[in-house]
Structure 1
Amino acid sequence: MRIAFVGLGNVGFPLAQNLLRAGHEMTVFDLDASRAAPLVGQGAILAPSLPAAAAGAEVAITSLPNPAAVAAVVPGDQGLLSALSAGSLWIEMSTTDAEDMRRYAAEAAKRDIDALEAPVTGGVNRAWTGEISILVGGDEGVFARYRPLLAAMGGEIEHMGPIGAASIVKVITNVLAFAHLWASGEALMLAKRAGVDLAKAYHGIRISSGNSFAHETEGQLVLNGSYNCAFTMALAMKDYNLALTLARDTGTPLPMAELVHEIFTKASDTYGEQAWSTMAVKLLEDQLEEPLRAPGFPAVLPGTGDR
């Protein structure tokens, strides 16, 4: 297919690369044109502008850092949707606001453009290996028609319902992941201060009922000391704010999420918005002057690529 891919960040780049390797024609666009160089070397065309990227595309895919970026790129007379042809498809793979997504999809429909939301989850390393999970919202017929295209980028693919449903589930999963990460850090700290070997404690938790995806993956990055999950505090706070706004709008109390949000807010203030979100655990390490380190753990998760 002829694909326009917009946004070549930590997640967008490997997703675009997976599509190239699957044999699709691709035009790419990013405000930082240097990000496109490796893809151009693999056969992609670097567009000089957003309209040029969309010209002639059967499918346009956006992978952008936050709702503000989506709002700047997608809607309106100068946006991506205005540059796409009738009968094409727009796939939004950013984590964005559900109400915004519904509004953009309605605009797309007025232009006779199909829309799917397809936020990804499961760690940046799995985007590189093509195993990342994809949550999809939109018309089931459109989803079925383009599922093979999504399968070229990811592993497990689940249809969540109409437009907006996938965005909601995505931020919910992130809130769970942040809570699991913090709980894993507390557990490891308790093990260390009680005199247990940290590597053995990690593996004991990993095979137990107390295991979580965050412990199994990001726990390794804490124990290494790199914290390099390729996901920043800024992105974590964006997702948290989307979830807490949803909670307020639905009148749903989330006392645990509020507590962990306070922890991540402090971590963001302490280490900066561009620090890795995994560094939330460092608050506990710094407070107790007890680094959580053990030999044999990787600085990045297996499968993470290099541009």
Structure 2
Amino acid sequence: MHYAYIGLGNLGANCAACLLRAGFEVTVYDLNPALAERLVAAGAVLAPSAEAAAAGADHVITCLPSPAVSERVLRAILPGMKPGAHWLEMSTLGRDDVLRLGAVSAAAGVQMMELPVTGGVHLAAQGKITMLAGGPVEVFDLHRPAMAAMGDRIFHMGDLGAASIIKVITNMLAFIHLKATSEALMLAKRGGLDLAQAHAAIAASSGNSFVHETEGALILNGSYDVAFNIDLALKDLGFALGFGREFGVPLDLASMTEQTYVAAKAAYGGAAQSPMIAKLLEDLLGTDLRADGFPARLE
């Protein structure tokens, strides 16, 4: 199977590398050619354009920063895609965007499968990220070997649109957990506890979360560098609150967390790292959350 992989940001480059390691033929493209260098060194072919990448491959995977970019790339590549080619969209899109772009793709004779992922860039690098698929089951079955190369937990959530709902739910929970762990660590620090011991004790308790173990460590290091920025968090929280209105579900914690991210964007800018919501609390109280022995990046 020959895949074109378009979009080589933090997530996309790692997933494309996993495909190469598993023996798939991969052609890559990104507006920034430098992002493809390590993939080319590992055996990928660098295409001169998204259109050329798509035209030369059996199927196309995209991992892009926004619905607008996804639509622009899709409309550019559709005319040249091979008959029977599929489009696997790994970007985080709203359900309405998924359904609309799925219709655009189908009108050109290309079946779409949405494939958002969750777990963090460090797990993508290990080929252990969680994959959330939505679309026809026969498309899911065909591409399962590629998904297994990129992730170790794979869920077919249902028809197109289903995966976008669960992805937004998982991200909403992660942002809420990040706000909670920030407050918990600050409470420990102001209470005079050793933060390394407090982090370990929480991790061994009923109050633990994946976010506490991972992003909590980056807060304690002071890098905050999870390779996911505040603008992306606000985008996903907006999707979650939209679903809350549509489905009639009050989302009090998500609403409060969104306001925290709005404040963080005002303070540090939308390109700042998502865990910097903890820095809001540090700045407010004049108290840092540093501890020795924690990594600057997740491995």
TM-score of the two chains, using structure 2 as the length reference: 0.97
Residue 118 of structure 1, CA deviation: 0.6
User: Distance in 2 between the 1:71 and 1:89 partners?
Assistant: 15
1:202 is matched with which residue: 188, 199, 205? Answer: 199
User: Distance in 2 between the 1:236 and 1:46 partners?
Assistant: 30
Paired residue for 2:111?
Answer: 114
User: Distance in 2 between the 1:260 and 1:5 partners?
Assistant: 33
User: Distance in 2 between the 1:71 and 1:112 partners?
Assistant: 16
Contact 1:63-1:93 within 8 A present in 2 as well: yes
1:222 is matched with which residue: 219, 222, 227? Answer: 219
* Partner secondary structure for residue 103 of structure 2: helix
> Mean alpha-carbon deviation: is it higher for 96-105 or for 160-169?
96-105
Percent identical residues: 52
RMSD of the TM alignment (CA)? 1.1
Q: Given residue 228 of structure 1, which amino acid in structure 2 is its aligned partner?
A: D
Paired residue for 1:305?
Answer: none
For structure 1, list consecutive stretches of 5 or more residues without a partner in the other structure.
303-307
> Mean alpha-carbon deviation: is it higher for 149-158 or for 107-116?
107-116
Residue 258 of structure 1, CA deviation: 0.5
Paired residue for 2:9?
Answer: 9
2:153 is matched with which residue: 153, 156, 164? Answer: 156
TM-score of the two chains, using structure 1 as the length reference: 0.95
Paired residue for 1:147?
Answer: 144
User: Distance in 1 between the 2:20 and 2:261 partners?
Assistant: 36
Matched, 1:85 2:82: yes
Contact 2:55-2:77 within 8 A present in 1 as well: no
Q: Given residue 175 of structure 2, which amino acid in structure 1 is its aligned partner?
A: F
User: What does residue range 234-273 of structure 1 map to in structure 2 within 5 Å?
Assistant: 234-273=231-270
User: What does residue range 116-135 of structure 1 map to in structure 2 within 5 Å?
Assistant: 116-135=113-132
Q: Summarize deviations over 1:3-35 as a string: whole Å, max 9, x none.
A: 111000010001011111111111111111111
Q: Given residue 10 of structure 1, which amino acid in structure 2 is its aligned partner?
A: N
For structure 2, list consecutive stretches of 5 or more residues without a partner in the other structure.
none
Residue 246 of structure 1, CA deviation: 2.1
User: What does residue range 30-179 of structure 1 map to in structure 2 within 5 Å?
Assistant: 30-75=30-75, 79-179=76-176
User: Distance in 2 between the 1:293 and 1:147 partners?
Assistant: 42
User: Distance in 2 between the 1:23 and 1:117 partners?
Assistant: 23
User: Distance in 2 between the 1:151 and 1:269 partners?
Assistant: 40
User: Distance in 2 between the 1:205 and 1:133 partners?
Assistant: 24
User: Distance in 1 between the 2:153 and 2:129 partners?
Assistant: 7
* Partner secondary structure for residue 156 of structure 1: strand
